[in-house]
Every structure is written in structure tokens, then in C-alpha cells.
Amino acid sequence: MISEEQVRHVANLARLGLTEEEIERMGGELGAILDSIEKIRELDLTDVPPTANPLNLSNVLRSDEPRAELPREEALAPAPESADDLFAVPRID
């Protein structure tokens, strides 16, 4: 079980709205999932390096040259709202 306060905190970090009912249910569900995951903490992996990518790729570079990209008009087409050839959003608070 994780507390209602924690659920609200995490939902805020994720910019995710939740109904009161969802907040209540989420505490129990996340708690149960976290309890089941708890067992990986029993392993002593102090000196084990982490794996972030299964092929262990690093620093894949390409030359820094301008290329043709989507025309502005096309890129804006799926946007819910645009203004002055830009994506439009409500007041930034």
C-alpha cells in the first residue's frame, strides 16, 4: 500500500490527472505490484554494472548537416491548436 499523499505526489510529477476513485484504487494496486517486485532487492548486486541497452551501443554519431525536414504547415496539421505558425498552448502557469 502506498499512501494517498504519495499517489498525489507521483501523479503530479507525471502531470497525470486522476479521479478521487482512481487515487484510492491506485494506492492499493501500486502497493501490491511493488510488494511483488520487492524480491529483486534481496540480490546483492553491489559490484554489478547496470545494463541500459542490450547491445551496449554507445555514442552513435552522425554528421551535423542540415537535412530536409517536415514543412512547418504539415507539422502543425495534427496539432489541436496553432497560432502564428507555432503550436499554441494555454497560459503557462
Partner 1 sequence: MAGSGNLLGLTAHELAKSVEAGEISAREAAEAANARVEEVETEVNAFVTTTPELALERAKRTDARDGDRRLWESVPLAVKDVLSTRGVKTTCGSKILEGFEPLYDASVLVNFGGDLIMVGKSNMDEFAMGSSTENSAFGPTRNPWDLDRVPGGSSGGSAAAVAAGEGWWALGTDTGGSVRQPAALCGIVGLKPTYGRVSRFGLIAFGSSLDVVGPMTRDVRDSALLLQAIAGHDPRDSTSANVEVPDYLSELDGGVEGLRVGVVTELMDERIDAGVREVTGRVAEGLEGAGAEVGEVNLPHAYYALEAYYIIAPAEVSSNLSRFDGVRYGLRVPAEGVHEMYRRTREEGFGAEAKRRIMLGTYALSSGYYEAYYAQAQKVRTKIVEDFRAAYSRYDVLISPTSPSVAFEIGAKTGDPLAMYLQDICAVPASLAGIPAINIPGGLSDGLPVGVQLMSDHFTESMLLRAARVAEQVADFEFALKP
Residues that bind partner 1 (CB under 8 A): 2, 6-7, 10-11, 13-19, 22, 26, 29-30, 32-34, 36-37, 39-41, 43, 45, 48-55, 57, 60, 62, 70, 74-75, 77-81, 87, 89-93
Nearer to partner 1, 24 or 77 (CB): 77
User: Is residue 45 a contact partner of residue 61, using CB atoms and an 8 Å limit?
Assistant: no
Task: Tell me the closest approach of the beta carbon of residue 89 to partner 1, in angstroms.
Answer: 5
Task: Tell me the closest approach of the beta carbon of residue 26 to partner 1, in angstroms.
Answer: 6
Distance from C-alpha of 12 to C-alpha of 52, rounded to nearest angstrom:
26
Task: Tell me the closest approach of the beta carbon of residue 41 to partner 1, in angstroms.
Answer: 6
* Residue 67 backbone dihedrals phi, psi, to 5 degrees: -130, 165
CA distances to 38, 66, 67, 75, 92 from 63, rounded to whole Å, are 44, 9, 11, 24, 36
